[in-house]
Amino acid sequence: MNWTINGLPMHPLLVHAAVVFVPVAAILALIGAVWPAARRKMGIVTPILATAAAFAAALTQQAGEALGETVQQTALIKAHMEGGEAATPWIALLFFATWVQWAWFAFAKKRYAEGSKAMIGATAAKVLPVVVAVLVVIGAVGSAASIYVIGEAGAKAVWSHTTAP
């Protein structure tokens, strides 16, 4: 795929979507993990934003790899690219954990309460939401932190050679 628009690399354009969607999804996921009333109000919004974040990050990474083939490979560029690859598992965890959490509270919990207890034990019904909440928190913190580190490395790679007037 051609990762340019009128000769301009798409990576600097796409990065803005990842920089917005990932932290917003992470913040909503954290709120939903610790505040049940907020999770109920947000509903499916959090996993949808996590999906947007995952797509934005994936597209940004692919465009960045294409751009990386055309620029001089400095230590800063390499650090930025390695950070982009390291963020993938965190963002994937955020994506999956938010969907599992939403599905549990939207469907499975209601079925369990209505008497379909044969499919899941009482202990599992209490432990599962806690485990998922912990995974949501880990994915949210890891995603937000990795986006910050990647962005900082990218900014240094782009702007470190310039001097202030």
Given this model, what pLDDT does residue 122 score? 72
Please write the tens of the pLDDT for every residue from 40-63. Answer: 999 999 999 999 999 999 999 999
* pLDDT over threshold 60, residue 118: no
Residue 97 resides in a domain: yes
Residue 165 resides in a domain: no
Given this model, what pLDDT does residue 19 score? 95
Q: 0.85 exceeded by the pTM?
A: yes
Of 58, 39, 145, give the one whose Cα is nearest residue 97.
39
Q: Which amino acid is at 17?
A: A
Could you tell me the residue range of the domain that residue 92 belongs to?
A: 4-159
Helix residue ranges per DSSP H, 35-121: 36-42, 45-68, 75-103, 109-114
Residue 133 resides in a domain: yes
Given this model, what pLDDT does residue 49 score? 98
Chain centroid to CA 84: 12
- Provide φ and ψ at 153, rounded to 5°: -65, -40
Residue 76 resides in a domain: yes
Residue 85 resides in a domain: yes
Number of domains in the chain: 1
Given this model, what pLDDT does residue 119 score? 59
What is the domain-level CATH number for residue 64? 1.20.120
